[in-house]
Amino acid sequence: MSGTDRRGFLKAVGAGVGGLIVGGLAGYFGAPPKEVVKTETVTTTVGGAAQTVTKTVTVGQTARPTPSGPIKLGLQVFFTGPGALLGLPAAYGTRMAVKEINDAGGILARKIELLERDEGPSDATLREFRKLVLEDKIDYYTGLISSGNTPTVGPEAEENKVLTLFVDGCTDILFERAIPNPHYVFRITNIQSSDAITAAVGTMKLLFDRGLIPENPKITGIHPDYAYGRLIYDFYNTAMKKMLPDAEILDQQFPGLFKVTDFSAQITSMIQQRPDLAIVSLWGGDYVNWYKQAIGFGLFDKMKVVTTLTFGGSPQAVGKDHPAGHVGGVHANYWFTNPDWTLWPLNGKFVKKFKDMWGEYPSFEGEGAYTGAYMLKGAIETAAQEVGGYPDEEEIIPILEQWSTYGPAGYIQVRKKNHQCYKNAVIGVTGTSPEYDFAVMSEVLVLPIERVSAPAEYDTSKQWLESWPVGFKP
Amino acid sequence: MSIYIIFALNALLFASVLFLLTAGLNIIYGVMRIINLAHGNLYALGAYVTAWVLLTVGYQAFPGPLLYIVPPIIGVLVVGLGALIMEPTLLRPMYKRIEEFQLLITFGVLLILEDLFLLIFGPYPLSVREPYTFLGVSKIGDLSYPNYNFLVIALGFIVAFALWFLLYKTKFGIILRATSLDREMAAAMGVNVKSLFTVSFVIGAMIAGLAGGFIVTKDTAVLGMGIEALVLAFVVMVIGGLGSMKGAFVGALIVGALRQIGTAYFPEIELAILWLIAAVVLTIKPQGLFGR
């Protein structure tokens, strides 16, 4: 309860008076130690822009000593099994950021110790999370790839008061139903509904506007049979029906995630429907198997294909034989050639460092995890300036709630209401480039995130989508 | 009309892969009474090695038909070698113990292999496409069908015929069947049961490796493929009857056909269909269609 009060107080007074809180609390809880109060001017970064704030800080005996020992950061992603395709790049991103931060002296002179645990099915993931919290006594937690796991671990993180930055597991359900009023939990990658709507808007911009699909397209699709695939099916088709009311949504396929390697039956059934368009949300090995077999059946010649995750694993996972001229997604997050390396050197440097360190190009998971680690560092350091010592979670959270920063993917901001991060969404046209021996985006479409995600005043993304007037094209 | 021909070919393709998976499992169970849970990843090992050979040596190294023979055979040999090491070292000490030990050991091997794939081949799918694309496609009406799939269908029938010949037309087959019926009597008649076990295990594993070697050019070598394949093979094994080669063949055809029908007309319950078939068969005939 006291945490909420203090948070409310901070909200009212603003982040620049943390020192007063420390002094006030010290006075409240017991006999005040001898204090030396002085006023100093510090420059702090709030809201993405540097601004100068004058504030009062207490120093002397009340300045908190920095805790001894390293910062324990728990990292949990898929290191094994088919999910490692997304999990390992995320781990690479976190490890790279941690190494850079430690090499530069750590956070407030504390080194980060990374405690890595495997992600698995929900029960196993939760068990490992509890061990990290209760036995290893981690300070902060990051990771998680699966949308099946974040709604399980999220409430536990809240209960255990662990400051948590989920890298992915981007289901809307997490902040709509599992923890509708998050306090300790934040998430870095774009929300899942934005992924579906990005694919739908990408369909309009890259196919419909160019006359490549008719005004009344027949839409088929194939999706993995779990939360993610079901959401993409629902949101994409609803969005398409809003934008093109004469669209016809056909029966779509739902093979189990990583349970099917031979997609002949599904591919033939999709062709049999004679559609104009197919929405595909398979990913990883499933997508590679599917597209390879779909080429053999001539599917790509018979319809346009829009995907959410063609380029979602490691970029080099999809070969040059991937048909060109279709629409391929990156989970609406990040593609390593965008933003342009010359215009946004931060990205070029990041890609080079990542490639040098890991021998592969970064995926959206790698970028998200890397940016997330730096977000944590930035928020801790800003909070430390505010409170005049190493901050606790309750002091970091108000800073994170209004955090905005920039990473290799560009600008990213936290929405205070749902603790979800937002950055511009990316999707593109599939093609090849002589520079790379794998399929790439031959054209990148960047959509401002506010056009493809629900504004804060809506309780759920679905409410926003359903509020679209017929014929609305964001 | 052409779509129905493709449906039938799809059913045969799936049945062929299922049969190859189940045949090896059945030989091992029939002779040794061991449920080899590692079987799925022996199949995956065949796939990974074949893909790895094609990716590292390059498809150009195998001119003409050799492209379709040498890489999978290398995969099969590696799997055979693995089985040759596994049977005497890990399984033999377990024969006299309760079955749970065998299950634990083979499941352990399944998990170890899975992580070895991750360690050696990395987390990304190994995809080779040349052998698949070189064969081109056949036109069936206005639809295309990949010719490579005919090869996989043929492989299923060839292996089925070869196994039938081996089991019913050779002396080795007679000994194998005799040992399967009564292990002690066979030993009393002078059969070297120990080496027969090793040979059966290696043959069973190599059929799985062969399936993996051929499937990998059509699909990919990907983490988790072995575990899913194992589950499918069990469904077919249960439908056909444990240890029955005829059961594996008929079971694979039934599952292949019903899956295609389900996917085409009832996509929402595609996953449930396999289990529904198994439930119906087990209710009517608990020992499976051709089980003893």
Mean pLDDT across the stretch A402-425?
95
Which residue among A80, A85, A255 places its CB closest to the CB of B114? A80
Indicate the residue type of B267: P
Mutation target vs A (from B10, B43, B132, B215; most A CBs, 10 A cutoff) = B10
Split at pLDDT 50, 70, 90, the class of A62 is low
Residue B170 domain flag: yes
- Averaged pLDDT for residues A311-329: 91
**A225-246 tens-digit pLDDT:** 988 999 999 999 999 999 999 9
Q: Is the pLDDT of residue A11 over 60?
A: no
Please tell me which residue, A455 or B124, carries the higher pLDDT value.
A455
ipTM > 0.90, yes or no? no
- Cα dihedral A105/A106/A110/A115 (nearest 10): -140
Instruction: Judge whether residue A114 has pLDDT over 50.
Output: yes
Q: Which two tokens stand for residue B78?
A: 């590696």
CB contact under 8 A, A265 and B137: no
Percent of chain A with pLDDT over 90: 77
More confident residue, B142 or A95: A95
Q: Which residues of B touch A293 (CB under 8 A)?
A: 146, 218-219
Average pLDDT rounded to a whole number, residues A125-149:
96
Query: What local confidence, expressed as pLDDT, does residue A235 receive?
Result: 97
Tokens for A370? 């890397």
Per the domain annotation, does B278 fall within a domain? no
Domain of B139?
2-223
- Residues sharing a CB contact under 8 Å with residue A450, sequence separation 6 or more, in sequence order: A422
Q: Is residue B286, in this structure, part of any structural domain at all?
A: no
Q: How confident is the model at residue B269 (pLDDT cuts 50, 70, 90)?
A: confident
Contact A265 B10 (CB under 8 A): yes
Distance from CA of B219 to the nearest CA of A (A): 5
Indicate whether B80 pLDDT > 90: yes
Q: Which CATH architecture has domain A71-190+343-423?
A: 3-Layer(aba) Sandwich (3.40)
Which of A46-60, A126-140, A218-232 comes out lowest in average pLDDT?
Answer: A46-60
Residue of A nearest to B230 (CA): A259
B contact set with A (CB within 8 A): 3, 6-7, 10-11, 13-14, 17, 114-115, 118, 123-125, 127, 129, 132-133, 137, 143-146, 148-149, 215, 218-220, 222-225, 228-229, 231, 259-260, 263-264, 267-268, 270-271
Answer yes or no: do A225 and B144 touch at CB < 8 A. Answer: no
- Contact residues on chain A for B127, CB-CB shorter than 8 A: 288, 292, 319
B-chain CB neighbours of A265 within 8 Å are: 7, 10-11, 14, 259-260, 263-264
| Comma-separated ranges of CATH 3.40.50.2300 domains in chain A | 71-190+343-423, 193-338+424-467
Instruction: Classify residue B271: in a domain, yes or no.
Output: no
**B207 pLDDT higher than 70:** yes
Residue B7 predicted with pLDDT over 70 = yes
Comparing A4-8, B84-88, B199-203, the range with the smallest average pLDDT is A4-8
**Fold (topology level) of A193-338+424-467:** Rossmann fold (3.40.50)
Return contacts of A1-4, CB within 8 angstroms, 24+ apart.
A3/A161, A3/A183, A3/A394, A4/A183
pLDDT band at B262 (very low <50, low <70, confident <90, very high): confident
What pLDDT shows up at residue B42? 97
Per residue in B90-120, pLDDT tens?
Answer: 999 988 888 889 999 999 999 999 999 999 9
Task: List pLDDT tens digits, range B181-200.
Answer: 888 898 899 999 899 999 99
> What pLDDT is attached to residue B273?
84
Mean confidence (pLDDT) of chain A = 88
pLDDT band at B12 (very low <50, low <70, confident <90, very high): very high
Query: Distance (Å) from the C-alpha of residue B145 to the closest C-alpha of chain A?
Result: 5
Residue B109: predicted pLDDT = 95
**Neighboring chain A residues of B268 at a CB cutoff of 8 Å:** 251, 254
Residues of A in contact with B222 (CB under 8 A): 82, 258, 261, 284-285, 288-289
**Strand bridging mode A410-415 / A404-407:** antiparallel
Percent of chain A with pLDDT over 70: 87
The answer on pLDDT for A385 being more than 70 is yes
What pLDDT digit, counting tens, does each position of B122-149 carry? 888 898 888 998 999 999 988 889 999 9
The answer to whether residue B276 is domain-embedded is: no
- Whether residue B94 is contained in a domain is answered as yes
> If you average pLDDT over residues B229-242, what whole number do you get?
91
C-alpha to C-alpha distance for B19 and B23, rounded to whole angstroms: 6
Q: Residue A10: pLDDT above 70?
A: no
pLDDT at A9 > cutoff 50: no
The answer on pLDDT for A27 being more than 70 is no
| Confidence (pLDDT) at A63 | 64
Q: How confident is the model at residue A25 (pLDDT cuts 50, 70, 90)?
A: very low
